[in-house]
Amino acid sequence: MLATTPDFSKARALVVGDVMLDRYWSGKAARISPEAPVPVVQIKTIEDRVGGAANVALNIAKLGGKVTLLGVVGDDEEGRIVKRLLEAAGVVCDLIVEKSVRSICKLRIVAQHQQLIRVDFEETPIEFAQSGLVSRLSQHLPQNDVVVFSDYGKGTLSHVQQHIHQAKQLAVKVLVDPKGIDYRRYAQADLITPNWSEFQAVMGICENEEDLVIKGRELINTYQIPNLLVTRGEAGMTMLQKDQAHSISAQAKDVFDVTGAGDTVIAVLAACVAICMDWYDAMYLGNLAGGIVVGKLGTSTVTIAELTRAMHGDKDSQYGLVSEAELIPLIARAKANGEKIIMTNGCFDLLHVGHVTYLEQAKALGDRLCIAVNSDESVRKLKGESRPINRLQERMTVLAALTCVDWVVPFSEETPENLYCNVLPDVIVKGGDYRPEQVAGGDCVINAGGEVKILPFVEGQSTTAMINKSQPVWSTNKA
């Protein structure tokens, strides 16, 4: 089992498929219409999220991977919204704009966290975009390690067999989220991910696990697809290969909404494959991600922090690794309960007894201790190109294991000033010979009624000293 979440920053993925906009109108339904026996929803919020292949790309970007999306949209507001949302998240968009079609949009009306109706706006198939897809695919494939074909049956991938051939010629790994019952279209893909009902529609009803294995290997042999991942809802997942089969149970405690869960699973698998991870480790992380995302309402993504917490068995915990967005409500809740929040920051590259002593002293000043940790890039700016020794996820995981630490949050700037000003802890703690007015973010915290405290370092303890001590000593004595 993996000890830490992988570093996906070197993953290069291309996503091709049906691009959609998922629109949510949410409000309260308190009465029945006098015109017909239907609820009347008073809309309070309107939210747009990306769906289909766009959601796959967004999930990869949220994991830190470099991702390009290739698809088709109309020359309309919905298409422009999809592009804007994706680019804001770091997705490179190469979208073919077809003036004669409208972008696919799924409108969901929600009341009291329940979906009442879905209204789809779409025009299919999108046949006339195929020549553009082939040429653009040829341009993008050489720059990527893996390509995901996200097929929702809307026409974008009507020539997917040709696209798979293009990718295989360049030795790019091919992952497919399939649609329909003609799997000849996906022949020679490296992996396909049908769900339970999709698999049985193609291969027939499976009465038990043995049936699944037999029919799965028949599919593998028939279509020359070496890896088959069947997602089975509450029963988990099964990975089948020519001579191996492995099942894992579902991680979701309570299923709220399965919308887009398959997108998240294949996105995690793609990111893992792009950095040459083992198929079974990729399935393990994909299963964790699927369990997280079904607990969210609507089309959603999974963060590295959420994956890490799930790996350590505390998916729903209020402790451990968190993002800034997750930290803010946690601190607000703790303050509402009368708890005093302490924060400190640093690189914490090689954890030593000085760090531990300092953090224990900091925790003693209040009820909750949160550590802000420099990103790898900010450490390099501060310490030089040879640092950090340990990457961000590893440094954060070690810190989160300390009993005195409640939360660990990353920041990418050279100082955590913006972070401190956003979350406003009760006390900022720094070690060494700082003066309170020199501490980044101290002004914000003090103006909000907090304080800054300086604690002494433990003499003789430093990361630099540890690094120097570990260097080999070569004797220059001659015999």
Whether 7 is catalytic: no
Environment class of residue 107 by beta-carbon count within 10 Å: exposed (0-12), middle (13-18) or buried (19+)?
Answer: middle
Strands 19-32 and 39-52, how do they pair?
antiparallel
Q: Give the whole-angstrom CA distance, residue 289 versus residue 296.
A: 11
Q: Alpha-carbon torsion 438, 443, 445, 450, what sign?
A: positive
Tokens of 266: 């294949």
Provide the β-strand partners of residue 15: 69, 148
User: What is the SS3 string spanning the chain?
Assistant: CCCCCCCHHHCEEEEEECEEEEEEEEEEEEEECCCCCCEEEEEEEEEEEEEEHHHHHHHHHHCCCEEEEEEEEECCHHHHHHHHHHHHCCCEEEEEEECCCCCEEEEEEEECCEEEEEEEECCCCCHHHHHHHHHHHHHHHHHCCEEEEECCCCCCCCCHHHHHHHHHHCCCEEEEECCCCCHHHHCCCCEECCEHHHHHHHHCCCCCHHHHHHHHHHHHHHHCCCEEEEECHHHCEEEECCCCEEEECCCCCCCCCCCCHHHHHHHHHHHHHHCCCCHHHHHHHHHHHHHHHCCCCCCCCCCHHHHHHHHCCCCCCCCEECCHHHHHHHHHHHHHCCCCEEEEEECCCCCCHHHHHHHHHHHCCCCEEEEEEECHHHHHHHHCCCCCCCCHHHHHHHHHCCCCCCEEEEECCCCCHHHHHHHCCCEEEEECCCCHHHCCCHHHHHHCCCEEEEECCCCCCCHHHHHHHHCCCCCCCCC
Q: Are 326 and 316 in contact (CB under 8 A)?
A: no
Q: Which of 257, 263, 406, 426 is catalytic?
A: 263
Amino acid found at 395: R
Catalytic residues: 263
